[in-house]
Amino acid sequence: MEDFAHSVATFVREHQHWAAPVVLVLAFGESLAFVSLLIPAWGALIAIGALIAAADLSFWPVWLAGGIGAALGDWLSYWFGYKYKEHVAQIWPLSKYPEILPRGEAFVRDWGVPSIFIGRFFGPLRASVPLAAGIFEMAYWPFQIANFVSALLWSAVLLLFGDVIAIVIEWIWRAS
């Protein structure tokens, strides 16, 4: 994971014009039900956030790309759950992690629309909540509103977290 994040951050530092498309793809993969279980991209997103101040990247296009990518990943996960319902649990890689979908189901049933916001910020739930919302037919528009708003918030939090870490490290470096 660390090597992946470092490689992606190095690529973005050397090719800054690719920052927004790379962040969009990473956020999409991080939010897509099946892919996020295999390649967690949040570390790379934080590393790219650290480049915002250090490499003078523009925050706004990178943030917007991250939010759109995350929302599209959840949108596709919702659709997949809605379309394939009970068959989803039998598809790899979810078939290797049988506990994820029942946790997502319980979470969606207990919390409703706020589960979309909460699930966005917790790894295993991030993969299963939109899928469960689709399987259990959460109302489409409340899901999508929560999806897009939480995706933009999530993108900002990850990128700003990386940015703040870079500023603190630079401050410590100069102070010593």
In sign, the C-alpha dihedral spanning 117, 84, 104, 31 is negative
Sequence-distant (≥ 6) Cβ neighbours of residue 139 within 8 angstroms: none
Q: What are 102-152's pLDDT values in tens digits?
A: 877 888 899 999 999 998 998 767 878 999 999 989 999 999 999 999 999
Q: pTM (2 decimals)? A: 0.89
The C-alpha atoms of residue 121 and residue 142 are separated, in whole angstroms, by: 18
Q: What are 24-51's pLDDT values in tens digits?
A: 999 999 998 877 767 778 888 999 998 9
Domain ranges in the chain are 2-175
Could you tell me if 101 and 131 are in contact, meaning their C-beta atoms sit under 8 angstroms apart? Answer: yes
